[in-house]
Protein backbone atom coordinates (compact mmCIF):
# COMPACT_ATOMS: atom_id res chain seq x y z
CA UNK A 1 0.00 0.00 0.00
CA UNK A 2 2.85 2.38 0.90
CA UNK A 3 4.45 1.69 -2.49
CA UNK A 4 1.25 2.47 -4.39
CA UNK A 5 0.88 5.73 -2.44
CA UNK A 6 4.50 6.67 -3.23
CA UNK A 7 4.04 5.87 -6.93
CA UNK A 8 0.84 7.96 -7.09
CA UNK A 9 2.68 10.86 -5.44
CA UNK A 10 5.44 10.52 -8.00
CA UNK A 11 2.90 10.50 -10.85
CA UNK A 12 1.19 13.61 -9.42
CA UNK A 13 4.57 15.38 -9.24
CA UNK A 14 5.24 14.55 -12.89
CA UNK A 15 1.81 15.76 -13.95
CA UNK A 16 2.41 19.06 -12.12
CA UNK A 17 5.76 19.41 -13.90
CA UNK A 18 4.19 18.71 -17.28
CA UNK A 19 1.49 21.29 -16.58
CA UNK A 20 4.09 23.84 -15.48
CA UNK A 21 2.59 24.00 -11.97
CA UNK A 22 5.54 22.63 -10.07
CA UNK A 23 8.32 24.55 -8.41
CA UNK A 24 10.21 21.32 -8.04
CA UNK A 25 13.76 21.51 -9.40
CA UNK A 26 14.16 19.98 -12.83
CA UNK A 27 17.28 18.50 -14.35
CA UNK A 28 18.52 17.25 -17.69
CA UNK A 29 21.31 14.71 -17.99
CA UNK A 30 22.61 12.69 -20.90
CA UNK A 31 23.03 8.95 -20.85
CA UNK A 32 26.64 9.40 -22.04
CA UNK A 33 27.46 11.65 -19.06
CA UNK A 34 25.81 9.18 -16.67
CA UNK A 35 27.88 6.35 -18.16
CA UNK A 36 31.09 8.37 -17.69
CA UNK A 37 30.15 9.10 -14.07
CA UNK A 38 29.28 5.46 -13.41
CA UNK A 39 32.68 4.34 -14.73
CA UNK A 40 34.49 6.79 -12.47
CA UNK A 41 32.36 5.92 -9.45
CA UNK A 42 33.05 2.22 -9.83
CA UNK A 43 36.75 2.36 -10.77
CA UNK A 44 37.78 0.61 -7.57
CA UNK A 45 36.27 -0.90 -4.43
CA UNK A 46 36.41 2.34 -2.45
CA UNK A 47 33.60 4.85 -2.20
CA UNK A 48 33.91 7.73 -4.65
CA UNK A 49 32.24 11.13 -4.49
CA UNK A 50 31.99 14.25 -6.63
CA UNK A 51 29.65 17.16 -7.09
CA UNK A 52 27.80 17.91 -10.32
CA UNK A 53 27.28 21.33 -11.86
CA UNK A 54 26.29 22.83 -15.17
CA UNK A 55 24.34 25.62 -16.78
CA UNK A 56 20.81 26.40 -15.64
CA UNK A 57 18.45 27.17 -18.52
CA UNK A 58 14.89 28.33 -17.83
CA UNK A 59 15.02 26.75 -14.38
CA UNK A 60 16.34 23.44 -15.64
CA UNK A 61 19.72 22.31 -14.30
CA UNK A 62 21.90 20.74 -16.97
CA UNK A 63 23.94 18.06 -15.19
CA UNK A 64 26.99 17.87 -17.42
CA UNK A 65 30.13 18.66 -15.42
CA UNK A 66 31.82 16.80 -12.60
CA UNK A 67 33.29 19.00 -9.89
CA UNK A 68 36.03 17.01 -8.28
CA UNK A 69 38.19 17.88 -5.32
CA UNK A 70 40.85 16.09 -3.31
CA UNK A 71 39.73 13.64 -0.67
CA UNK A 72 41.24 13.22 2.78
CA UNK A 73 40.31 9.59 2.83
CA UNK A 74 38.49 7.08 0.64
CA UNK A 75 37.59 3.63 1.97
CA UNK A 76 35.00 0.95 1.32
CA UNK A 77 32.94 2.52 4.12
CA UNK A 78 33.05 6.17 3.08
CA UNK A 79 34.80 9.18 1.68
CA UNK A 80 35.94 12.36 3.42
CA UNK A 81 36.71 15.47 1.43
CA UNK A 82 39.72 17.68 1.99
CA UNK A 83 38.36 20.96 3.42
CA UNK A 84 40.88 23.23 1.68
CA UNK A 85 40.23 21.54 -1.66
CA UNK A 86 36.47 21.80 -1.11
CA UNK A 87 36.85 25.49 -0.28
CA UNK A 88 38.82 26.09 -3.50
CA UNK A 89 36.19 24.18 -5.45
CA UNK A 90 33.42 26.42 -4.04
CA UNK A 91 35.39 29.56 -4.91
CA UNK A 92 35.83 28.31 -8.48
CA UNK A 93 32.10 27.60 -8.79
CA UNK A 94 31.38 31.10 -7.48
CA UNK A 95 33.72 32.64 -10.06
CA UNK A 96 31.64 31.06 -12.81
CA UNK A 97 28.33 31.61 -10.96
CA UNK A 98 27.70 27.92 -10.97
CA UNK A 99 25.93 26.04 -8.21
CA UNK A 100 26.35 22.53 -7.04
CA UNK A 101 23.33 20.98 -8.72
CA UNK A 102 23.84 17.58 -7.24
CA UNK A 103 26.32 15.02 -6.09
CA UNK A 104 27.07 11.51 -7.18
CA UNK A 105 28.78 8.91 -5.07
CA UNK A 106 29.24 5.19 -5.02
CA UNK A 107 28.27 2.57 -2.47
CA UNK A 108 30.71 -0.28 -2.84
CA UNK A 109 28.80 -3.48 -2.33
CA UNK A 110 26.22 -5.69 -3.87
CA UNK A 111 22.45 -5.96 -3.65
CA UNK A 112 19.56 -3.55 -3.75
CA UNK A 113 20.56 -1.90 -0.47
CA UNK A 114 23.76 -0.63 -2.11
CA UNK A 115 21.68 1.43 -4.53
CA UNK A 116 19.65 3.47 -2.02
CA UNK A 117 20.71 6.65 -0.19
CA UNK A 118 21.81 5.95 3.37
CA UNK A 119 20.72 7.91 6.43
CA UNK A 120 24.07 9.71 6.24
CA UNK A 121 23.35 10.59 2.59
CA UNK A 122 19.91 11.97 3.41
CA UNK A 123 21.27 14.04 6.31
CA UNK A 124 24.04 15.41 4.03
CA UNK A 125 21.45 16.30 1.37
CA UNK A 126 19.31 18.12 3.97
CA UNK A 127 22.35 20.14 5.12
CA UNK A 128 23.14 21.15 1.53
CA UNK A 129 19.54 22.12 0.85
CA UNK A 130 19.29 24.06 4.12
CA UNK A 131 22.43 25.98 3.19
CA UNK A 132 20.59 26.95 0.01
CA UNK A 133 23.40 25.98 -2.31
CA UNK A 134 21.86 22.89 -3.79
CA UNK A 135 18.30 22.83 -5.15
CA UNK A 136 15.65 21.50 -2.78
CA UNK A 137 14.00 18.29 -3.79
CA UNK A 138 10.95 16.62 -2.27
CA UNK A 139 12.67 13.33 -2.92
CA UNK A 140 16.26 13.60 -1.80
CA UNK A 141 17.49 11.57 -4.71
CA UNK A 142 16.33 14.00 -7.40
CA UNK A 143 19.81 15.23 -8.15
CA UNK A 144 21.57 12.74 -6.02
CA UNK A 145 22.70 9.45 -7.36
CA UNK A 146 24.09 6.59 -5.42
CA UNK A 147 25.38 3.65 -7.35
CA UNK A 148 26.22 0.19 -6.31
CA UNK A 149 25.94 -3.13 -7.99
CA UNK A 150 22.42 -4.53 -8.12
CA UNK A 151 23.77 -8.03 -8.69
ZN1 LIG B 1 25.74 7.00 0.24
Nearest to 116 by CA among 147, 92, 94, 73: 147
Q: Name, in order, each residue with C-beta under 8 angstroms of 25's C-beta and a sequence gap of 6 or more.
A: 59, 61, 135, 136, 137, 142, 143
Neighbours of ion ligand 1 (CB under 5 A): 118, 121, 146
Q: Which residue has the higher pLDDT, 52 or 138?
A: 52
- From ligand 1's centre to the CA of 23, what distance in Å? 26
- From ligand 1's centre to the CA of 54, what distance in Å? 22
Q: How many Å separate Cα 73 from the centre of its chain?
A: 20
The pLDDT value given to residue 141 = 40
Q: What residues does 49 pair with on adjacent strands?
A: 105
- From ligand 1's centre to the CA of 2, what distance in Å? 23
Task: Summarize pLDDT for 44-77 with one digit per residue, the tens.
Answer: 999 999 999 999 998 899 999 999 999 999 999 8
Task: Summarize pLDDT for 84-107 with one digit per residue, the tens.
Answer: 999 999 999 999 999 999 999 999
The pLDDT value given to residue 145 = 58
Q: How many Å separate Cα 88 from the centre of its chain?
A: 20
Question: Domain extents for the chain?
Answer: 25-149
Other CB atoms closer than 10 Å to residue 90's CB: what's the count? 15
- From ligand 1's centre to the CA of 84, what distance in Å? 22
Q: What angle do CA 21, 104, 38 make, to 5 degrees?
A: 115
- From ligand 1's centre to the CA of 47, what distance in Å? 9
pTM for the model stands at 0.74
Domain covering 25-149 in this structure, CATH number: 3.40.140.10
The pLDDT value given to residue 70 = 94
Residue 10 predicted with pLDDT over 80: no
- From ligand 1's centre to the CA of 100, what distance in Å? 17
Task: Summarize pLDDT for 19-38 with one digit per residue, the tens.
Answer: 767 677 889 999 999 999 99
Residue 143 predicted with pLDDT over 70: no
Q: What angle do CA 130, 131, 136 make, to 5 degrees?
A: 50
Amino acid sequence: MHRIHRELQHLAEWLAILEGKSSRPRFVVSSMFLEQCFRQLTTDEREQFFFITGAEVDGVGVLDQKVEFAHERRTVMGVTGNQSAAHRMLIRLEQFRHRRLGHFHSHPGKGADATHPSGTDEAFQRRLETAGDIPRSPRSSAATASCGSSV
